[in-house]
Amino acid sequence: MDTYLVAAFTATGIYVLLTLGLMLQFGFAGLINFGHVAFFAIGAYVSAILSLHGVPVLVSMAAAVILAAMAALPVGLLAIRLREDYLAIAMLAFAETVRISLAAEQWLTGGINGLTGIPRPFFSPGIGRADNLTYLAFVLLMDVAAVLLIFRIVRSPFGRLVRAIRDDENAVQALGKDPVRFKVVVFVLGSAFGGLAGALQAHYVTFISPDQFTASVTFYVWIAMILGGAERISGAIVGALLLMMFLEATRFISDVVPWISPSDMASVRLAAVGLALIVCTVYFPHGVVVRAARR
Amino acid sequence: MTAFYINLAIGGLVQGLIIALAALAINLVFAVGRFANAATGDYVTVGAYAGIAAQAVGFTSTLAQGLAAALVTAVLVPAVYLLVFRPLAGRPAATFMIASVGVGFFLRYTIAFFVGHDQYTFLRPTVRALQWEGIRMLPIDLWLSGLAVLAVAAVFCILFLTSAGRRLRAVADNPELARTSGIDVGNSMMLLWVLVGFLSGVGGMIVGIKTVVVPDIGWNILLPAFAAAILGGVGNLPGALIAGLLLGVVQELSSPIVGFVYKQAIAFGVLVLVLAVRPQGLFGARKAVR
């Protein structure tokens, strides 16, 4: 049982990072990113490939974060200066293109078979329980660091400005600030979070393949963020927890109910995510957690 | 050699018709509902499965299957509007987009749950292609093109020749002004979604005949359709048609160069190019973009 809990909390910790990144972009700057999974994928593959070529894991992870951020920059620069829905559409297409490329470039990524035997970091004492526990601690450490970083950003003059842009872009422009520049910075930062989450995922599961990085991951993160309330750090954490409980519960159902196959259950899960997106946007515009807390 | 490229272009035109129908549905929603409807692809999927269902209960003619497909989506899509999008009235466009993603996921995976991930095909007699100097043309492609042209013509006739269409265009122009002029905006919105459903259903039938029917069938044309909608100019209906056909041809012609796999990424390439060079699209107005 405790092995199971360690695994579940590690997965949650990784989703917390993804959700925090999306929260920065959407809740904080109003950017609609429908391709968050792209940076999760880039982070995972960069870190996996480098470490498989002998680069120390922590260096690989740092490179993954930097490359995910760099990948976000051109798309961000291109789409953020335009209508808000252009970014959403461009990111949807970007994420699909990343996944197609990962499946196609077999020489680098192993193609659809993916990459196996991705090493754990140096501090892991080997395979087993202690190993998983230290890794969980590492993931949670990254979560804490991310939360502290966001706190700093939100309270800085930069953070105030970004929120002002979200609330009234024209007013900020009238003050002589360039809203696009600030939004691009936030976009790149949120994508770096996605890259870190990807690196953590790759070294945790030690096996990655393109079908782990479909658009459904993006919308798992969206529902986690929306459930928690898009503008709150605590919401991102609670949302990721709720999401993980839901995913684990549905997996559990397909284990105990014999006439539901795992692929049927995957359909149920994704249909439920769709339904949750609808219900949350129609009835809970400020998140389920906030609504519950106000009562 | 020329014949090879002409054949590719013909194949591209048929692909382009499918993209154009979906892009037209997207730009109709852009023009009136003012949001990017990410569920469009899954409306197409519903249409394809409705056609398969019609075949399963004994309708053998493609026309009857197509009518069944268009009928199902023309009822379902307005129902989705009433249940999901109408209650969101007055909320930001982002909310509509997120809800439309939810609608798409719900439809796609509900279908996947009930029919599984097996492939379904429309059973058709194999007919030899018409040949002329190495240029090949399948009779079914001619029929499907005719069907698509008729469907688009019907939508344009409703929009531009009937008074209900005129009212809908008035709502697209300025909803408040339309309301104060005594136009029932609710009725016009229903007409909009019936048209969107009709186009998606016809598109689903055509893509179902050209490929195999799987739950992802519509999702796979969503990105090319979005790219075509933006290339044609957001909210621009003739633009969506021309851009859709163009994108289909470009996709096919590029496949010998970029390979089969990256053919799917062409839509993203076109999108990037449009956003960088001409974000208002080929036929769009500059003001619509910022």
Specify the higher pLDDT residue, B136 or B53.
B53
Q: Is the pLDDT of residue A294 over 80?
A: no
| Within a domain: A261 | no
Render pLDDT for A177-215 as a digit per residue (tens, 0 to 9). Answer: 888 889 999 999 999 999 999 999 999 999 999 999 999
List b or e across B98-108, with b for residues whose CB sees 16 or more CB atoms inside 10 angstroms. bbbbbbbbbbb
Nearest to B244 by CA among B222, B229, B254: B229
- Provide, as residue numbers in chain A, all residues whose Cβ is less than 8 Å from the Cβ of B98: 32, 222, 226, 277, 281
> Does B89 contact chain A (CB < 8 Å)?
no
Q: Which residues of A244-273 are buried (b: 16+ CB within 10 A; e: fewer)?
A: bebbeebeeebeeeeebeeebbbbbbbbbb
Q: What is the pLDDT of residue B23?
A: 97
C-alpha B26/C-alpha B14 separation (Å) is: 19
Coil, strand, or helix at residue B137? strand
- DSSP states along B140-166: HHHHHHHHHHHHHHHHHHHHHHSHHHH
Q: Identify which of A26, A78, A103 has the shortest CB distance to residue B276.
A: A78
In a domain, A101, yes or no: yes
Closest CA to B171 of B162, B155, B182: B182
pLDDT, one tens digit per residue, over A35-93 is 999 999 999 999 999 999 999 999 999 999 999 999 999 999 999 888 888 999 999 99
Q: Could you report the per-residue pLDDT of A92-142, keeping only the tens digit for each?
A: 999 999 999 999 999 999 999 999 999 988 665 555 567 888 899 999 999
Residues of B in Cβ contact (< 8 Å) with A273: 102, 105
- Inside any domain, residue A237: no
pLDDT for the residue A241: 93
Q: List beta partners, residue B131.
A: B136
For residue A128, what pLDDT is reported? 59
Interchain CB distance below 8 Å, A34 and B116: no
Q: Find the mean pLDDT for residues B265-289.
A: 81
Q: Coil, strand, or helix at residue A92?
A: helix
Quick one: which H or E segment has residue B94?
Answer: helix B93-115
Rounded to whole angstroms, the Cα distance separating B62 from B74 reads 18
| ipTM attached to this prediction | 0.92
Both tokens of A180, joined, read 């696009």
Whether chain A has a CB inside 8 Å of the CB on B95: the answer is yes
Which residue, A187, A151, A181, A153, is CA-closest to A169? Answer: A181
| d(C-alpha B4, C-alpha B135), whole Å | 8
DSSP bridge pairs for B136: B131
Q: In the block, which residue shows the tokens 């439809």?
A: B107
Q: In angstroms, what CA-CA distances link B236 with A243, B202, B239? A: 39, 20, 5
The pair of structure tokens assigned to A220 is: 């798992």
Distance CA A72, CA A57 (A): 23
Contact (CB<8Å) B223/A271: no
| pTM metric for this prediction | 0.93
Q: Which residue of B has its CA nearest to A267?
A: B109
Query: If you average pLDDT over every residue of chain B, what do you get?
Result: 91
Among A30, A97, A278, the residue with its CB nearest the CB of B102 is A278
Interface check for B258 against chain A (CB to CB < 8 A): the answer is no
Residue A231 · residue A27 · CB < 8 Å: yes
**Alpha-carbon torsion, ordered B90, A278, A87, B36, to 10 deg:** -60
Which of the residues B271, B273, B278 would you substitute to probe the A interface, choosing the one with the greatest number of A C-beta atoms within 10 Å? B271
**Residue B132: which H helix or E strand, with range?**
strand B130-132
Nearest C-alpha neighbor of A20 from the set A137, A198, A191, A165: A191
Residue in chain B nearest A85 by alpha carbon: B36
Query: Among A187, A188, A219, which residue's Cα sits nearest to residue A15?
Result: A219
Mutant choice from A217, A267, A283 vs B, greatest count of B C-beta within 10 A:
A267
Residue located via tokens 């990144």: A21
Q: Considering only alpha carbons, which residue of chain A is nearest residue B280? A: A82
- Please write the tens of the pLDDT for every residue from B85-127: 999 988 888 899 999 999 999 999 999 999 987 889 998 877 7
Average pLDDT value for residue range B200-208: 96
Read out DSSP for B183-230? --HHHHHHHHHHHHHHHHHHHHHHHHHHS-B-TTTTHHHHHHHHHHHH
For residue B196, the one-letter residue type is V
| Total domains present in chain A | 1
* Angstrom distance (rounded) from CA B23 to CA A176: 38
Query: Is A294 domain-assigned?
Result: no
pLDDT at res. A251: 79
Q: Does residue A252 lie within any of the structural domains?
A: no
**A86 to B279: CB separation less than 8 angstroms, yes or no:** yes
Lowest mean pLDDT among A133-142, A249-258, B169-178, B230-239: A249-258
How many angstroms away from the CA of A115 is the closest CA of chain B? 20
Please state the rounded mean pLDDT for residues A220-244: 89
In a domain, A60, yes or no: yes
Average pLDDT of B1-11? 87
pLDDT tens, B33-49? 899 999 999 999 999 99
Q: Where are the alpha helices (DSSP H) in chain A?
A: 2-22, 37-52, 57-80, 84-104, 106-109, 129-155, 157-167, 169-174, 179-205, 215-228, 233-256, 262-283, 288-294
Cβ contacts of B260 within 8 Å, gap of 6 or more: none
Q: Quick check: is A295 in a domain?
A: no
Q: CA-CA distance, A197 to A43, in Å (whole number)?
A: 7
Cα separation, B35 vs A278, in Å, equals 15
Handedness of CA B70, B74, B79, B81 (dihedral sign): positive
**pLDDT for residue B286:** 52
Which 3 state secondary structure label does DSSP give B284?
A: coil
The two tokens of residue A8 are: 């579940």
Number of C-alpha atoms within 13 angstroms, CB side, residue A70?
A: 9
Task: Find the largest Cα–Cα distance for chain A.
Answer: 64
Give the three-state DSSP class for B130. Answer: strand
How far apart are the C-alpha atoms of A73 and A25, rounded to whole Å?
Answer: 13
In degrees to the nearest 10, what's the CA dihedral of A162, A166, A171, A175?
A: 10
B25 touches chain A (CB under 8 A): no
Residue B231 tokens, joined? 């290339």
Q: Is the residue at A257 inside a domain?
A: no
Name the residue range of residue A206's domain.
Answer: 2-213
Query: Taking a C-beta distance cutoff of 8 angstroms, is the pair B7, B232 a contact?
Result: no
Write the pLDDT tens digit of every residue in A163-181. 888 888 888 888 888 888 8
Give the per-residue pLDDT at A289.
Answer: 61
